[in-house]
Structure 1
Amino acid sequence: MTIQPRREIARVVRRRASQLRRVSDHVRPTPPVDRVVDDAADYWTGRDADPAWEGNAHWRSGLGEEHWRTVGAEHLAIFDMFAKALDLPATPGVVVEWGCGGGANAVAFAPTAQEFIAVDVSADSIAECVRQLGMVCDTPVTPLQVDIRHPEYAADGREESCDTFICLYVVEVLPSVEDVKRILRVAERMLRPGGIAFVQMKYHTADWRPRAYKRDYARSLSTMTTFGIDEFWSLTAECGLTPRLVTLVPENHLDTRYAYYALTKDAG
């Protein structure tokens, strides 16, 4: 047997094995939500457990220089488009980034902010985000580590304290829809009247494959919780925010099926 047929056989075997895993994921019972939350907490606070962790947490060392810089630049461009369409101030004021990771978004948003609050479940990511910000601007930075099981505590004493709430590449890795609702309600509490939440989620389509498996957190973290585009729009309103605009990015250098929302907190 020549090398080429062997490689083709190996590719077929890997493809069939992947298909079998997906089928198995859909027929096995879904584990209790509490266990998925524990798995998520273990994953994001266990930096050394997965070689891909720094990439998943959007560290400079994990994404590589070009992609790391592109993440923040692309998101700032979308935010500026939303802000202009909604006639918002030219600068974002006090900014909270929920899920700051290694600072890929922070380095784009913080230089024009009045204050930047770096929120994450990982102390390592917060420290890295603060380090990266120190190299690009002198904006005051407040680190804020949160417990994935009790995100509401982050808003205690910070009600109506920020102008801009950023939450990017977070919704899809949350364990459940209820966890998403909790973060949206935190955003509503922390935003001042008239403030904006800039939130991204991963949308699903009629194709079943992008839907969340919820069996193995580390293997399925980027599709743990997905939504229909209109479904998420309605969910944000249920959580006290007013959906104003949405734009879709079907594919970029990181993944596919991204939807970005501009949500405001009513002034009255």
Structure 2
Amino acid sequence: MWLAIRFILAQQVPPLALSRYAIPAPIFGPGRKNQLIFILSRLGIKHRMLIQAHWRKSMAQDLIRRATRALRRQGAFLSGVMLTQSEEKRAAEAAQFWSESENNETIKDKSHWRGFGRYADDDVWLKIGHTRLHELESLLALAGRGPAQSMIEWGPGGGSNAVALAPTMQKFYGVDISQANLDECGRQLRSVGFTNYDPVLVDPANIDLVKDACLAGIEPVDFFLSVAVFQHFPSKAFGLEILSLANRLMKPDGVALIQIRYDDGSIRMRAKNSNYRENAMFFTSYKIDEFWIAAEERGFRPLALKLMPEVCYAYYFLAKAGSQAT
């Protein structure tokens, strides 16, 4: 109300009118309620109506601001926390989103394609694979086993990990929901002379078909890798299904490196339930201990954990349960 009067007096009431009504000043000091009554009683009907109209508008805007803040505090906003879509709908949106890497330069960047967006700088792109190579060396040392000869990368994208890791392997499988990503990964592998690459295209809308395609087309491997992928899955449940499948696709002494986005309690990092396109970068997350326990329950032996708090990344260094360091 006081802001409304201040606005009206500053913008709408002519100086002569103020002097004619002999309005005291300051009007916002002690005893302002009595001053308000005095002001309203001395102003003409036109100015009283202006004050009332502006006051109603200000009150409405204030209510909207308060309601919006309250909804955000509770996490009940339309970007995926309050509303829930079916698993099939979310999976279809995810498949459509990542398939656009064929023509959309923004999606190419998000899929780690060489020469696009952040990866116009070739050194930045190559550094991704070099980092994975060092992590694999650490993982093998933790597991107490020799070099890996075969691997699966779940979500190879534009091949940034593949070009560094595949040349150290005899066999490389790439599993992705985007044919364009699989093709680009193959192109990058050929550029470094690696040809023993089997791409596997899967449809996230049907987890049973995903399992069938992988179990039928992939021989058990020494190493399972998935980095910057679990956070883009259409649901937490889907991610846990892939975690179980990963264990089935590994040899008895196999190892795995899986990175997730962890839930730090903030709205941004909370797992979402709808509007995949708007939330693709932060769609699925887990509590740190939640994923550790889930890995144990699905046949893994956690060896180590690396955290990157600035982006809420957690890297799980895993061995297949039953395998022991030698």
Q: TM-score range by the shorter chain?
A: 0.7 to 0.9
Q: What residue is the counterpart of 1:148 in the other structure?
A: 204
Is the Cα–Cα contact under 8 Å of residues 184 and 236 in structure 1 kept in the other structure? yes
Q: What residue is the counterpart of 1:157 in the other structure?
A: 216
- RMSD (Å) for aligned C-alpha atoms: 2.4
Is the Cα–Cα contact under 8 Å of residues 173 and 218 in structure 2 kept in the other structure? no
Q: Which moved more, 1:190-199 or 1:215-224?
A: 215-224
- What SS does structure 2 have at the residue aligned with 1:156? helix
Aligned identity (percent) is 32
In terms of fraction of residues, the more helix-rich structure is: 2
- Equivalent of 1:69, from 112, 126, 136? 126
Q: What residue is the counterpart of 1:189 in the other structure?
A: 248
Q: What residue is the counterpart of 1:135 in the other structure?
A: 191
Q: Deviations over 1:68-88 (max 9, x none)?
A: 112111222222222222222
C-alpha displacement of 1:27:
6.4
Q: 1:123 to 1:205 in 2, by over 3 A?
A: same
- d(CA) in 1 for partners of 2:214 and 2:259? 20
Is the Cα–Cα contact under 8 Å of residues 250 and 258 in structure 1 kept in the other structure? yes
- d(CA) in 1 for partners of 2:219 and 2:192? 27
Is the Cα–Cα contact under 8 Å of residues 81 and 272 in structure 2 kept in the other structure? no
Kindly report which structure 2 residues correspond to 1:1-268, keeping only aligned pairs within 5 A, or say none: 24-25=77-78, 28-47=82-101, 50-62=104-116, 63-64=119-120, 65-89=122-146, 91-138=147-194, 140-149=196-205, 150-157=209-216, 161-251=220-310, 256-267=311-322
- What SS does structure 1 have at the residue aligned with 2:272? coil
- d(CA) in 1 for partners of 2:101 and 2:195? 27
C-alpha displacement of 1:260:
0.7
Q: Deviations over 1:121-164 (max 9, x none)?
A: 11111111011011123351112212223321233235762110
Q: Which has the larger radius of gyration?
A: 2
Q: Show structure 1 runs of 5+ residues with no match.
A: 1-15
- d(CA) in 2 for partners of 1:49 and 1:28? 32
Q: What residue is the counterpart of 2:17 in the other structure?
A: none
C-alpha displacement of 1:191:
0.4
In terms of fraction of residues, the more strand-rich structure is: 1
Is the Cα–Cα contact under 8 Å of residues 159 and 189 in structure 1 kept in the other structure? no
C-alpha displacement of 1:49:
6.9
- What SS does structure 2 have at the residue aligned with 1:54? helix
Instruction: Return the letter of the residue paired with 2:315.
Output: Y
Instruction: Return the letter of the residue paired with 2:221.
Output: C
C-alpha displacement of 1:38:
1.2
Instruction: Return the letter of the residue paired with 2:140.
Output: A
Is the Cα–Cα contact under 8 Å of residues 94 and 115 in structure 1 kept in the other structure? yes
Is the Cα–Cα contact under 8 Å of residues 90 and 234 in structure 2 kept in the other structure? yes
- d(CA) in 2 for partners of 1:206 and 1:156? 36
Q: 1:32 to 1:157 in 2, by over 3 A?
A: closer
- What SS does structure 2 have at the residue aligned with 1:30? coil
Q: Show structure 2 runs of 5+ residues with no match.
A: 1-64
Q: 1:123 to 1:209 in 2, by over 3 A?
A: closer
Give the count of matched residue pairs: 247
Instruction: Return the letter of the residue paired with 1:92.
Output: A
Taking structure 2 as the reference length, the TM-score comes to 0.69
- d(CA) in 2 for partners of 1:154 and 1:97? 15
Q: 1:47 to 1:87 in 2, by over 3 A?
A: same
Q: 1:158 to 1:238 in 2, by over 3 A?
A: farther
Taking structure 1 as the reference length, the TM-score comes to 0.83
C-alpha displacement of 1:218:
1.6
C-alpha displacement of 1:237:
1.7
